Amino acid sequence: MERGWRAPTGKVCRELRNQAISVCAVLIASLAGFLDWRARRIPNWLTVPALIAGVATNAFVSGIEGGLRSLEGAGAVMIVLLPVVLLRGLGGGDWKLMGALGAWLGPTRIIIVLLVTILVSGLLAVIQIIRKKRFVQTVRNMWELLRGFFIFGLQPHPEINLDNPAALSLPFGVAAALATVGCFCAGLPGW
Amino acid at 46: L
User: Which residue did the predictor score with more confidence, 177 or 134?
Assistant: 177
Burial grade of 63 (CB within 10 A; 0-12, 13-18, 19 or more): exposed
Quick one: pLDDT at residue 3? 63
Predicted structure pTM score: 0.83
Which residues have CB under 8 Å from 131's CB, separation 6+?
none
The DSSP code for 71 is H
Task: Give the mean model confidence (pLDDT) for residues 4-27.
Answer: 78
Percent of the chain with pLDDT over 90: 61
Q: How confident is the model at residue 151 (pLDDT cuts 50, 70, 90)?
A: confident
Q: How far is CA 64 from CA 59, 67, 70, 151, in A?
A: 5, 5, 10, 47
CA 17 to mean position of chain CA atoms: 21
For residues 104 and 99, give the distance between their C-alpha atoms in angstroms, rounded to a whole number.
9
CA 164 to mean position of chain CA atoms: 23
For residues 84 and 94, give the distance between their C-alpha atoms in angstroms, rounded to a whole number.
11
pLDDT in tens, 17-55: 888 999 999 999 999 999 999 999 999 999 999 999 999
- Three-state SS at 154: coil
Crossing angle between the packed helical segments 92-131 and 44-86, to the nearest 10 degrees: 70
- Three-state SS at 2: coil
pLDDT in tens, 80-118: 999 989 888 899 999 999 999 999 999 999 999 999 999
